[in-house]
Homo-oligomer: A and B are copies of this chain.
Amino acid sequence: MRHAIGVDLGGTKTAAGLVSEHGDVVFSETIPTLSREGGEAILNATAEFVLRLRRRAASAGLGVTGIGVGSAGVIDAARGTVVSATEAIRGWAGTDVASGLARRTGLRTAVVNDVHAHALGEAWRGAAAPTSSSLLIAFGTGVGGSFVVNGRPLLGHRWVGGHVGHLASPFARDADGSPLPCVCGAAGHVEAIASGPALHAEYLRRGGDPAVADARGVFALAQGAGGSAGDSTARAAVSVAAQAAGQAAGGLANALDPEAMVISGGLADAGPLWWDAMEAAFRAELMPPLASMPLLRASLGGAAALIGAARLVLTPEILTPAKGLL
């Protein structure tokens, strides 16, 4: 059986594992990402990490076919390079990841954006397996997604495909009705109300306690304790963020008609208060022929992106034909 090393390279940590051609994770490990030290330092550390995993595989009698990487940033999957990235990984933009890792390790390397890797993993072995098409949307620090059709993610002409957080949302308004600023530079987008930081900001805008530091804190308050109903301001913030999330997911479901919808990210794992409001808004948005569309919670957890990334080299036709338009 063939195996590949799947790498999930994020702003704070890099997870990698040995993945079989059936999508089983034989073992995995994690290192910190050297996110302040530039592209070359990250490539050096990642290559060393991969070679250690390859030795571990060899000691178990297993060979390694290649490296698949899911990376933060906008990734040119044809060249294996980082088109752009936020300051979360300094100096990452412009890095030639595929050649850099291949040269350092001698292993064929393929790269996509981490959300696409995540969706590929869920479509292969997770919540969306087996489906012929699925749309994954992750609600966490940001809002991102990936539409996987016949096993292939739609990467987009400029490798930007999947930025589903940058649609207009009627919920992304302040109390005066002005559109909330979005991290992309525009305003009124889904991400400006439905991400974790946006949920926290909504709580504060509604007069919440400034000592509550983040979305996790808002959820803790909203859920209450010992049978109490929870803080009403916190519940309202969770509700509006969840409704914005579900409404956007439903609208995209109407436009794309995936076999199944998969929801992931920190907010998807935050419990029924968010999920139930999100699902109700999703169902309210669907056209009648889509009424029974499955709405699934991602099931692979932190392993999804490295499993999906490994598939890039285990099933390389995922990245053909040219231009990543799959």
Contacts and interface: CB of A to CB of B under 8 A. Distances in A.
B166 A287 contact: yes
A109 B95 CA distance: 50
A132 B287 contact: no
A246 B321 CA distance: 31
A133 B157 contact: yes
Contact of A84 (B184, B188, B289): B289
Contact of A289 (B74, B131, B168, B248): B74
B323 A163 contact: no
A247 B288 contact: no
Given A161-B255, A170-B170, 17 more contacts: A74-B289, A84-B289, A132-B322, A132-B323, A147-B256, A149-B326, A156-B257, A156-B258, A157-B257, A158-B289, A160-B257, A160-B287, A161-B256, A166-B254, A168-B251, A184-B287, A186-B284
Given A132-B157, A168-B170, A83 B163 contact: no
A155 B133 CA distance: 11
Contacts of A155: 257
Interface in A29-80: 74
A114 interface: no
A179 to B, nearest CB: 8
Interface string A184-200: 11101100000000000
A285 B179 CA distance: 12
A11 to B, nearest CB: 19
A258 B147 CA distance: 13
A252 interface: yes
Contact of A157 (B168, B185, B258): B258
A170 B172 CA distance: 9
A259 interface: yes
